[in-house]
Amino acid sequence: MNGRMITAALALAGLAGAQSVEDTVARAQAKAASQKATTAANLADAATKADVEQNEKIQAVEGKVDGLNEDYLETKATVAALKKFKVGGFVQFQYAYAADTNLSGGFSQKQGAWSLRRARLKFTYDAGNGAQLVWQPNFIESKFETKDAYLQYTEQWFKAVSLRAGIQDIPFGYEIGNSSSGMELIERSQYENNSVFNGEKTLGILAGFNSPTFPYVNAKVGWFNGQTQQAVTGDWTATQDPKNIVGRVGVSFAFNDAGLSIDAGQSYFYDSKILTVDSLKENIKGRGYDTFGFVKGRLRNDVNTVISGEDLQLTYEIPMVGGFKLMTEYYQGKIIGVSGSNKLYTGAAATTADVRNTMGFYVAGVLNPINILPQIQLVYRFDYYDPNTDVSGSDIDALRGFSKTDIAYTVNTIGLNWFVNGNFKVSLFYDIKANETTGAPSLDGYAGDAKRTQAAGALKTGLYTAANNFSKNIDDNVLTLRGQVAF
Ligand SMILES: [Ca+2]
Ligand SMILES: [Ca+2]
């Protein structure tokens, strides 16, 4: 190749090269534009796709929300229905230690014993429209029993007047209706436990007034079967014409600035009964019991139990010390019972009805020392019960128809409650019991003494039982340790 040819070739090459550069640039630009367009298209596609996906997601979420809403409404309806239905309960388990092993009766062979005092469930259905249903069974070692089973309706205009029908608390005084799980003392008073109020329940209808807008006055009055076979056969129905009217009128005042509240009430119990008895024993003052005999099975119309009661509860926040509560209650009246008991006369189970005038009262104080021991509650009660006010001291003589059940008792109780937490309570209580004494040889603890005349009384025969020797204060104090779980 010569020089000219080389030059031409280079020129061609240069031209070709120039053409090629331009071309490349254009192509690159076109490609870039195309890529941009593609990217934009892709982005648009992606965006559309994303929109679609998002819409799908939103729809899915909406669907889920709708589903959840349905579930929620369903759950809400279920919860609202369940809210109307409440279950509560408690169990009390205890160890009671008797001070004297020579006692006959409750602790004859054992100085101490474990027992299941109460084990209850309480089912309440509150429809929210004034209608309510309550059922409370009690399970103890030896039996199952219904403590409450009633329906109640409260009018909805003022929510003040209610009607209750079924097995329910006797509407008398304060301690009877006070819940067994919430009481500061572990047991109610002697009068309550040894009279017609024992067990606290009755069967019938009750009208009540308790206004949320006017809380200063409350009242309740009921018509019940009264004296029935319940204690003997578990039958709550009355065997004869029931005329048992019971009620309480109460006042309630709270002085919040002074940290003081006062509740008080006047109660009345009337139970007239046509009893089928063979005889009636009535105490004639200064003479002892007289027995009036009847033809077996003859109806006697005019035996009635009449009891009146007064109760007062006062709570006061003592500055720097803590909460103090005072509770006192007085019972007095005529009771138709049987020999050895002022509990409900149970008709056919007994052949003689005993008429006694009775009296009892208690004064109790409770202190919650907030500043020192916030979980501790200190309790004291003075409790006096006279099962027969027409006789006392040495006049209580088996030869005149009396028995140890005519003896009056004073019980001083000291106790401590430890609220371990909101559900668990431990109680330690000591009952110091002092009986009235009698000089009658018939009640000096020797079996067969009842047959001895006082004139020939020097002779001591038969088996001696310390628990029946009422010539002295019997050694019968009891220490009780109790645990309670409630929910
Ligand atoms: Ca007496
Ligand atoms: Ca004693």
Mean of the per-residue pLDDT values of the chain: 83
pLDDT band at 428 (very low <50, low <70, confident <90, very high): very high
Has residue 395 got a pLDDT over 80? Answer: yes
Position 282, amino acid? E
Angstrom distance (rounded) from CA 281 to CA 268: 24
Mean of pLDDT values over 239-250: 83
Has residue 251 got a pLDDT over 60? Answer: yes
Has residue 31 got a pLDDT over 70? Answer: yes
Mean of pLDDT values over 65-79: 90
| Nearest-ligand number for the alpha carbon of 477 | 2
pLDDT band at 197 (very low <50, low <70, confident <90, very high): very high
Contacts of 42 (CB under 8 A, 6+ apart): none
Please tell me which of 77-81, 208-212, 289-293 the model is most confident about, judged by mean pLDDT. Answer: 208-212
Has residue 53 got a pLDDT over 50? Answer: yes
Residue keyed to tokens 């401590």: 416
Sign of the alpha-carbon dihedral angle for 367, 373, 377, 382: negative
Number of CB atoms found within 10 A of residue 33's CB: 10
| Nearest-ligand number for the alpha carbon of 384 | 1
| Nearest-ligand number for the alpha carbon of 360 | 1
| Nearest-ligand number for the alpha carbon of 410 | 2
Number of H helices, E strands in the chain: 3, 20
pLDDT of residue 350: 47
Kindly tell me the burial class for residue 174, based on how many C-beta atoms sit within 10 Å of its own C-beta (0-12, 13-18, 19 or more): buried
pLDDT of residue 415: 97
Beta bridge partners, 123, equal 87, 135
Residue keyed to tokens 């005329």: 243
Angstrom distance (rounded) from CA 124 to CA 130: 13
Compute the distance from residue 476 Cα to the ligand 2 centre, in Å. Answer: 5
pLDDT band at 41 (very low <50, low <70, confident <90, very high): confident
pLDDT band at 369 (very low <50, low <70, confident <90, very high): confident
Compute the distance from residue 359 Cα to the ligand 1 centre, in Å. Answer: 9
CB 215 within 8 A of CB 406: no
Q: How much of the chain, in percent, has pLDDT values that exceed 70?
A: 77
Q: What is the pLDDT of residues 81-101, one digit of tens each?
A: 889 999 999 999 999 998 776
Q: How much of the chain, in percent, has pLDDT values that exceed 90?
A: 50
Compute the distance from residue 406 Cα to the ligand 1 centre, in Å. Answer: 6
Out of 222-231, 360-369, 468-477, least confident range: 222-231
pLDDT of residue 416: 97
Position 328, amino acid? T
Angstrom distance (rounded) from CA 470 to CA 440: 9
Out of 253-262, 323-332, 353-362, 450-459, least confident range: 450-459
Has residue 455 got a pLDDT over 50? Answer: no
Has residue 475 got a pLDDT over 80? Answer: yes
Compute the distance from residue 411 Cα to the ligand 2 centre, in Å. Answer: 8
Has residue 124 got a pLDDT over 90? Answer: yes
Compute the distance from residue 478 Cα to the ligand 2 centre, in Å. Answer: 9
CA dihedral 443, 447, 449, 452 (to 10 degrees): 170
Has residue 147 got a pLDDT over 60? Answer: yes
Compute the distance from residue 482 Cα to the ligand 2 centre, in Å. Answer: 22
Has residue 143 got a pLDDT over 70? Answer: yes
pLDDT of residue 110: 67
Has residue 302 got a pLDDT over 70? Answer: no
Higher confidence at residue 209 or residue 404?
A: 209
Angstrom distance (rounded) from CA 254 to CA 317: 12
Higher confidence at residue 461 or residue 124?
A: 124
Has residue 293 got a pLDDT over 70? Answer: no
CA dihedral 188, 190, 196, 199 (to 10 degrees): 30
Contacts of 8 (CB under 8 A, 6+ apart): none
Higher confidence at residue 122 or residue 457?
A: 122
Q: What is the pLDDT of residues 349-363, one digit of tens each?
A: 445 778 889 999 999
Compute the distance from residue 395 Cα to the ligand 1 centre, in Å. Answer: 9
Angstrom distance (rounded) from CA 304 to CA 287: 22
Angstrom distance (rounded) from CA 365 to CA 184: 9
Mean of pLDDT values over 295-304: 56
Has residue 128 got a pLDDT over 70? Answer: yes
| Nearest-ligand number for the alpha carbon of 98 | 2
**DSSP annotation of 68:** H
Residue keyed to tokens 């593609």: 38
Query: Token pair of 233, please?
Result: 């056969």
pLDDT of residue 167: 94
Compute the distance from residue 304 Cα to the ligand 1 centre, in Å. Answer: 20
Start-to-end Cα distance in the chain: 116
pLDDT of residue 294: 55
pLDDT band at 19 (very low <50, low <70, confident <90, very high): low
| Nearest-ligand number for the alpha carbon of 469 | 2
Residue keyed to tokens 């009345």: 268
Query: Token pair of 301, please?
Result: 């119309």
Angstrom distance (rounded) from CA 159 to CA 211: 7
Compute the distance from residue 210 Cα to the ligand 2 centre, in Å. Answer: 42
CB 325 within 8 A of CB 310: no
SS3 393: helix
